[in-house]
Amino acid sequence: MCVASHPLSRLGAGPAPATTPKPGIDAQSAWATKLIGRKVYKGDTSIGQIEDLLVELDRGTVPAVILSVGGFLGVGEKLVAVPVNQIKVGSEARFVTDLTKEQLTNAPAFVFGKTN
């Protein structure tokens, strides 16, 4: 089961089991609010922007990053789901990918709740 991320939102998933909070933060962790809105680059070219994260609530994992691609000034953009392992942090703390702008533009549009 996947849902788009929103802080503190459980979207009616019922009460969470009681757990002990983690005392520290993993060095590989990041706040979703610090990711959303950041550009993703292929080389020196911006090829998309992080719009959201897809969260599997039953597993507590993030399988995909939702990028907006294509368009100009918000017109003609579409959302695509990119597997989280396809996005890396490059030099200067920029998010980078080996995917091309053409691959993202030609990828099927992401529609929340639709299964492939």
The per-residue pLDDT for range 13-44, each reduced to its tens digit, is 445 555 555 555 555 667 788 889 999 999 99
Residue-wise over 1-24: b if at least 16 C-beta within 10 A, else e?
Answer: ebbbbeeeeeeeeeeeeeeeeeee
Based on the structure, what is the number of domains in the chain? 1
> Over 70: is that where the pLDDT of 108 sits?
yes
Residue 60 lies in a domain: yes
- Print the domain residue range for 56: 35-116
Each residue of 60-97: pLDDT tens digit?
899 999 999 987 766 778 999 999 999 988 777 788 89
Residue 5 lies in a domain: no
Q: What is the pTM of this model?
A: 0.68
Distance of CA 56 to the CA centre of its chain: 12
Q: Which residue has the higher pLDDT, 46 or 24?
A: 46
Residue 4 lies in a domain: no
Residue 109 lies in a domain: yes
Question: How deeply is 80 buried, as exposed, middle or buried, from its count of CB atoms within 10 A (0-12, 13-18, 19+)?
Answer: buried
Q: What is the pLDDT of residue 11?
A: 38
Q: What is the pLDDT of residue 3?
A: 43
Nearest to 53 by CA among 26, 25, 33: 33
> Over 60: is that where the pLDDT of 4 sits?
no
CA–CA separation, 62 and 81 (whole Å): 11
Query: What CATH number did the domain enclosing 61 receive?
Result: 2.30.30.240
Q: What is the pLDDT of residue 7?
A: 37
Residue 24 lies in a domain: no
In the chain, DSSP assigns E strands to 2-4, 39-42, 45-56, 61-69, 78-83, 88-89, 95-96
